[in-house]
């Protein structure tokens, strides 16, 4: 196939040897299956800033560290320089998170380097060596759904232990490999301690996964892992090996209607963005 823009430099530099085929394309990036020596990996080529919404990312970027005060001011004012810095920070966030989470034992694709705006990483496959399906594309039995749910809750907790929240976790960005679920797509990763929306995003991540797997094990809807994790995190007691139960005693008092409405609105916006992404992918954009 014709070498896509952005990958020729990596071939010239010997980082990859051959582009085998496209894997997927979305609003954020295009991913290709590549050969690196005897290894088959994938290369994620991030798209230009003009193809994505700057404002849509502001909520996720709150609390992220930047290189200096000049960069921070420019990003806050959305100047041309600031947008360029925000673009670099958006890409670097996923690269940094992958390395950090892989080191912490979270099941994410193993990163193999970041070169000229291209992230090279492990290709997740099924037992036959084909690209692994997404969580929403498989139909596990009830016992398997429970096992996967518990495993994913442990992975979310491990992420929180290192101060990170995925921010956009759902059945669309979890792949199912031979050894179980693998979490992917992390450019919007959130700082748990520095982002005012962190708790809400954690609840949304956990809720998305729970709703998806509850189709096969309905009792999962009665669990409250996000609240349990957050309470332990706030108390400084959350550990990578913490035994989570999914049980949580809510404090007495009136319901938090604003929080519920915000979650509903976020879910609607997320569904709209995903639909736009699917339509763009169908058009080959």
- Residue boundaries of the structural domains of the chain: 8-277
Cβ count near 131 (within 10 Å): 16
How large a percentage of the chain has pLDDT more than 90? 63
Q: Quickly state the pLDDT bin for 60 (edges 50, 70, 90).
A: low
CATH topology of domain 8-277: Transferase(Phosphotransferase); domain 1 (1.10.510)
Residue 156 has pLDDT above 50, yes or no: yes
Mean pLDDT of 123-144: 96
Q: What is the pLDDT of residue 72?
A: 47
Residue 76 has pLDDT above 70, yes or no: no
* Under 8 Å between Cβ of 20 and 34: yes
Mean pLDDT of 185-195: 91
Residue 84 has pLDDT above 90, yes or no: no
């Amino acid at each position: 196939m014709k070498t896509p823009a952005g990958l020729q430099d990596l071939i010239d530099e010997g980082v990859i040897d051959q582009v085998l085929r496209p894997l997927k394309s979305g609003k954020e990036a295009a991913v290709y299956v590549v050969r690196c020596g005897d290894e088959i990996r994938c290369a994620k080529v991030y798209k230009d800033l003009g193809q994505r919404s700057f404002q849509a990312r502001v909520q996720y970027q709150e609390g992220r560290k930047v290189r200096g005060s000049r960069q921070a001011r420019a990003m806050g004012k959305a100047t041309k320089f600031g947008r360029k810095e925000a673009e670099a920070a958006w890409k670097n966030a996923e690269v940094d998170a992958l390395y950090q989470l892989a080191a912490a034992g979270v099941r994410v694709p193993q990163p193999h380097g970041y070169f000229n705006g291209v992230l090279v990483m492990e290709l997740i496959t099924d037992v036959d060596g084909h690209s692994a399906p997404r969580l929403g594309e498989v139909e596990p039995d009830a016992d398997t759904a429970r096992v996967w749910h518990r495993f994913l809750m442990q992975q979310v907790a491990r992420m929180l232990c290192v101060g990170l929240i995925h921010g956009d976790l759902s059945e669309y960005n979890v792949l199912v490999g031979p050894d179980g679920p693998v979490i992917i797509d992390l450019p919007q990763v959130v700082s748990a301690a520095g982002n005012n929306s962190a708790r809400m995003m954690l609840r949304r991540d956990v809720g998305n996964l729970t709703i998806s797997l509850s189709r096969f094990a309905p009792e999962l809807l009665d669990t409250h892992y996000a609240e349990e994790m957050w309470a332990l995190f706030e108390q400084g007691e959350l550990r990578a090996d913490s035994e989570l139960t999914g049980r949580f005693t809510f404090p007495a008092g009136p319901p938090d209607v604003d929080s519920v409405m915000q979650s509903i609105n976020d879910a609607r916006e997320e569904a709209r963005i995903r639909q736009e992404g699917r339509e763009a992918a169908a058009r080959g954009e």
